[in-house]
Amino acid sequence: MTETSTAEFSLTETAPAPDPVSEPASTLEPGLTHTRLAVRKCGAAYRRAFHVFIETADREEPSWDRSRAADQAGLAYREAMPLLSSFEGVRDFIACTAHGILMGAIPPEQSGRLLYAAQVALAALQREPKPRKPA
């Protein structure tokens, strides 16, 4: 079987999904919050990567292919997660992490590290100096 890089998976996306942090609320579907959009984006990345791997994998060992496809899809899921650069990004990151754990895209041994990273980012954001108001 030929090795497939994760770069190939990202090339399969036809159009980038909107960034939940920078996308204005007025452009979102009714009832679709930034957090739900972030979780959708991660899930879509997972599904795309999984299907691309399955379609291109050697069919000689289907059970191995499905396991490897799930690993590659999990990587795509984690790469699609929001940045930890704002309160909304941290909130969405936590939601994506929780959803990824539940659906098996994030292995248990990585879940604690991801949630800890979100906790550290949130603490750093709370300690960020506020801009001074002009006198």
Determine contact, residues 92/82, Cβ cutoff 8 Å: yes
In single-letter form, the type of residue at position 19 comes to D
Q: With 0.85 as the threshold, say if the pTM is over it.
A: no
Provide the residue ranges of all domains of the chain, joining segments of one domain with +: 32-126
pLDDT classification of 23: cutoffs 50, 70, 90: very low
Q: What is the pLDDT of residue 118?
A: 97
* Average confidence (pLDDT) over 40-49: 96
How many C-beta neighbours within 10 Å does residue 88 have? Answer: 16
Percent of all residues in the chain with a pLDDT value above 70, rounded to a whole number: 70
Torsion over CA: 83, 110, 104, 11 (sign): positive
Q: How many other C-beta atoms can be found within 10 angstroms of the C-beta atom of residue 3?
A: 5
Which pLDDT belongs to residue 134? 78
Mean pLDDT of 92-99: 97
CA dihedral defined by 104, 55, 61, 103, rounded to 10 degrees? 10
How far is 62 from 55, CA to CA, in rounded Å?
11
